[in-house]
Amino acid sequence: MVQKLRLLKESPSQTAGPYVHIGTNPNWVEITGVWQEDLGLVLVDPETKGERIIIKGRVFDGAGDPLKDALIEIWQADAEGLYNSPQEKRGKADPHFVGWGRQPADGMTGEYRFETIKPGRAPYKDGRLMAPHITVWIVARGINTGLHTRMYFSDEEAANAKCPVLARIAHKARVPTLVATRAEENGLPTYTFDIHIQGEKETVFFDI
């Protein structure tokens, strides 16, 4: 026998199930009076630095139907590319921006929607800058382990072309699955980021 290396194993994942919102968004499912407000609904306040944007989209299953029970979380840097986290050692992030958001997909249409700011660029491990991006995490009934992906921006072509993470995608035709399209809606830049869990347009998901 030799000495034991790793002490413990990570707890295995289980599906969030159809009623994840009871635990994450109780007010949204009409369990009111337990806590004041559901976490993660509001990302920006009037003093948050950066360009205000809307992100919206739907999550599609292999039959092309939108998931109406999905829960979507985002995690992103501030306008300067700094994360509001104790693990961030490069500087102090905007105190008016936590950078984490959580929204349920609409129960009728499956659309999710975040009001946030466009993030700045953060470095890859070797110091090269990654293109601006937002980490996206999806859970729902039928998803056994939460799916990690990234959203990039269609108006950042030059940065996207040099992003060391996008460069790792061997099948170049799949890169556009990570790029949200910018359009102007109600006077606000709005990015549409549809996520396809499987099928021809399957989004690139990461094992991080």
Partner 1 sequence: MSDQGSFYQRDRSWHPLAFTPSYKTSVLRSPQHPLLSLENTISELTGPVFGHDKLGPLDNDLLRNFAKTGDPIGQRIVVYGRVLDENARPVPGALLEFWQANAGGRYRHKKETYLAAIDPNFGGCGRVITDEEGRYWFRTIKPGAYPWPNGVNDWRPAHIHFSVFGHAFAQRLITQMYFEGDPMIWQDPIVATIPDKSAIEQLVAALDRQNTLPMDALAYKFDIVLRGRRSTMFENHMEGN
Q: Which does 187 bind (CB under 5 to 8 A by kind): Fe ion, partner 1, none?
A: none
Q: At closest approach, how far in Å is the CB of 90 from partner 1?
A: 8
Binding mask 110-139 for partner 1 (x = CB under 8 A): ------------xxxxxx--x--x-x-x-x
Please say which residue, 185 or 191, places its beta carbon nearer to partner 1: 191
Among 72, 98, 105, 151, binds partner 1 (CB under 8 A): 98
Of 133, 143, 138, which Cα lies nearest the Cα of 180? 133
CA 21, CA 99: separation in Å to the nearest integer? 21
What's the residue count for the chain?
208
For residues 105 and 71, is the Cβ–Cβ distance under 8 A?
A: yes
Q: At closest approach, how far in Å is the CB of 152 from Fe ion?
A: 35
> Cβ neighbours of residue 155 under 8 Å, at least 6 residues apart?
182
Q: At closest approach, how far in Å is the CB of 147 from partner 1?
A: 7
Check residue 46 for interaction with partner 1 (CB under 8 A): no
Among 1, 3, 11, 47, binds partner 1 (CB under 8 A): 11
Please say whether the dihedral angle defined by the alpha carbons of residues 77, 78, 81 and 82, taken in this order, is positive or negative. negative
Phi, psi of 97 (to 5 degrees): -145, 110
Q: At closest approach, how far in Å is the CB of 158 from partner 1?
A: 20
Of 115, 112, 39, 50, which Cα lies nearest the Cα of 80? 50
Which parts of this chain interact with Fe ion (CB under 5 A)? Answer: 17
**Hey, which residues between 151 and 180 contact partner 1 (CB under 8 A)?**
165, 168-169, 174
